[in-house]
Chains A and B, each alone.
Chain A
Amino acid sequence: MADIKIDKTIDARGAACPGPLMELIKAMKQENVGSVIEILSSEKGTSVDAPAWLQKVGQELVKVEERGDHWSIIAKKIK
């Protein structure tokens, strides 16, 4: 982890609505190209859904990590 510099972390744990994936989409639209964005989610589904969306729109998935009671999904805005 030490080598990944995160520009923005969104703690969407326990956030039912709009939820972690919508927060990732918002950040991807708002942050500058090159930014590394981390989403924390307490929903297991996000660890599958977020990477699938990133692939669909051609953005980079850096890492998915399970951390006890939540997941960290790190993405990079490349375009």
Chain B
Amino acid sequence: MPKRIVIVGGGAGGTITGNLLARNLMHQIEHGQVIINMITDKPEHIYQPGFLYIAFDKVRPEEIIRQQQDLLDPHINLFVDPAVKIDREKNVVHTKGGKEFPYDYLIVATGSRIVPEAIPGLKEGAHWFYDLPGAQKLREALKGFEGGRVVITVGVPHKCPVAPLEITFMLYDYFKQKGMLDKVELYYTYPINRVHALEPVANWAVPQFEKKGIKYEVLFNMEEVDPEKKILKSMEGTHLNYDLLIAIPPHKGAQVIEDSGMGKGGWVATNKQTLRNEGHNNVYVVGDTTDIPISKAGSTAHFESDVVAERIASEIQEGGTMTEYDGKVVCFVETGFDEATYVWFNYKNPPKPTPPSKMLHWMKLGYNRLYWLSARGVL
């Protein structure tokens, strides 16, 4: 009987893990000892960081979309058929199309999604750039914007912790280029008591805000939007008028996680070192859907994928490995249209600031292209 590996979710984490496994286990796959099945819910693979650039008309949608099949090692069987139930007692995944995928090893990589409907009035009153239609709609709104107060607001939890600052600095450069700075007030809000979760990034950003005249309010958790009167209300009791509201809506994990009783909000209980689903030794979790208190970012998904692929391949080939995840996260942060900074940290080493430079900006742009190699497990 071959060992069956099932991967649910063909995004960043699922694709990298699958390709690394296929490479490590090629011999076993070719000899019928291992089968890798990937279940995903759409034929395309979208590079999400590209949404930020779509909003400013700097990238076209075709540049950030590939066919999932083209990114996968041919040793992986791809099924475009959403998972509707994961049964960890019987070790089987059920799909919408009525198929059943039994597994010896399961990799849960279903990511996270925005839930604007969780905040009353947000869908009607706000713009966002966290999905393709949202980024395109924001692009049109920016083109037609004649001036006034632009409020940036951030839901909890959310992926890509650096995106709120990036959009703010890019908005500043956008309005500067259009010669509109005298007509626009940028107003940034953030849920905790500093302008960014990473302290060095927050310490760097405040003088930038002051220099650029960007207003900010911390301890601001959106609670409700009045789209008629254009007012955003916070849990902390403040009210803000806006002319253009740009939100990072709060996130949830995939519906299938909640429907399978695998975790409230779609977040799966995950051991922060082994990346196993707590209580289920043959179930691994990668990417945004873990409940590890760590940044939900593509780089996190990537480093976790390295660990999960290594662990499963070793378990099959050698009975196990000591490889564990050390909490590594790397983020490039756009600080405008032509400069960026960079931070890395892990469970033991706190982040240290790096001065922004043009080179780091070009590295971020370069990575936007290199991602396709990264997804293929080459980089």
A interface residues (Cβ-Cβ under 8 A, vs B): 10-12, 14-23, 25-26, 29-31, 49, 52-53, 56-57
B265 touches which one: A16, A30, A52, A56 (CB < 8 A)?
A30
- Are B192 and A22 in contact, CB atoms less than 8 angstroms apart? yes
Evaluate contact between B250 and A16: CB separation under 8 angstroms.
no
Cα(A6)–Cα(B191), bound, Å: 25
The stretch of B13-21, B127-135, B315-323, B347-355 that contacts the partner chain: B347-355
- In the complex, B365 has a CB within 8 A of chain A: no
Residue of B156, B199, B329, B351 touching A29 (CB-CB under 8 A): B156
For residue B34, give the distance in angstroms from its CB to the closest CB of chain A.
35
The 9 closest A-B pairs by CB, nearest first: A15-B293, A17-B197, A18-B197, A12-B293, A21-B192, A14-B347, A17-B295, A26-B157, A16-B345
Chain B nearest CB from A26 CB (Å) reads 5
Shortest Cβ distance from A41 into B: residue: B293
B248 smallest CB distance to A (angstroms): 12
Q: Hey, what's the 0/1 contact readout for B231-247 against A, CB within 8 Å counting as 1?
A: 00001110000000000
Count of B interface residues, CB-CB < 8 Å: 27
Q: Are B156 and A49 in contact (CB under 8 A)?
A: no
Alpha-carbon separation in the docked complex, A21 to B199 (Å): 13
Using a CB–CB cutoff of 8 Å, the interface residues on chain B facing chain A are 156-157, 161, 191-193, 197-199, 219, 221, 235-237, 250, 264-265, 293-295, 327, 329, 345, 347-348, 350-351
| Given A21-B192, A22-B191, A29-B250, A15 contacting B294 (CB threshold 8 A) | yes
Q: Which of B191, B348, B351 has the most CB of A within 10 A?
A: B191
User: Is the Cβ of B157 less than 8 Å from the Cβ of A22?
Assistant: yes
The smallest beta-carbon distance between B354 and chain A, in angstroms, is: 15
Docked complex Cα distance between A20 and B265 (Å): 18
Taking the nearest CB of chain A, how far is it from the CB of B109, in angstroms?
A: 20
Min distance, Cβ A6 to any Cβ of chain B, angstroms: 16
Contacts of A26 in B (CB 8 A): 156-157
Please state if B351 and A25 are interface contacts (CB–CB under 8 Å): no
Give Cα A57–Cα B192 distance, bound, in whole angstroms. Answer: 12
Question: In this complex, what residue of A is CB-closest to B155?
Answer: A29
Q: Are A53 and B193 closer than 8 Å at their CB atoms? A: yes
Answer whether A18 and B219 are a contact pair too, CB < 8 Å, given A12-B293, A29-B156: no
The answer to whether A57 and B235 have CB atoms under 8 Å apart is yes
Is A56 touching B293 in the complex (CB atoms < 8 A)? no
- The answer on a CB contact under 8 Å between A21 and B193 is yes
Residues of B within 8 A of A23 (CB): 293
Report the bound CA distance from A49 to B192 in whole Å: 9
Contacts of B348 in A (CB 8 A): 14
Q: Chain A residues near B156: list those with CB within 8 A.
A: 18, 22, 25-26, 29
The smallest beta-carbon distance between A11 and chain B, in angstroms, is: 7
CB distance from B329 to the nearest CB of A (A): 7
- State the Cβ distance, B351 to closest chain A Cβ, in Å: 6
Chain A residues, Cβ within 8 Å of B351:
16-17
